[in-house]
Amino acid sequence: NDDVILKYRIAGLLLEYKQEKEALKMLSAAMNQDFSQIEYFFDLSPKALKNRKIKKLINDFRANSTL
């Protein structure tokens, strides 16, 4: 889905431009739409793997989506 890919791209760009709060919002929206594309986000933004807030957001999402 092009829409979700765009959201992951925007989240990555926001992160690159130090707009972490907005990046987290966009990433959350993208994950809610299609979590299976999360690897695409990490391909675009490998530094995100080291971001504590992003890791927490993803871990919380995984925990809540398996209930």
* Each residue's pLDDT tens digit, 11-20: 999 999 999 9
Residue with tokens 């990046």: 23
Predicted pLDDT at 1:
80
Instruction: Tell me the pLDDT tens digit for each residue of 38-64.
Output: 999 999 999 999 999 999 999 999 999
Structure tokens at 56: 């927490």
User: What distance in Å separates the CA atoms of residue 39 and residue 8, rounded to the nearest whole number?
Assistant: 10
Which CA distances in Å does 38 have to 5, 11, 65?
9, 11, 14
- Residue ranges making up the domain that contains 12: 2-65
Predicted pLDDT at 66:
67
Instruction: Tell me the pLDDT tens digit for each residue of 25-40.
Output: 999 999 999 999 999 9
Q: SS3 of 8, please?
A: helix
**Number of structural domains in the chain:** 1
| Alpha carbon 27 to its chain's center | 3
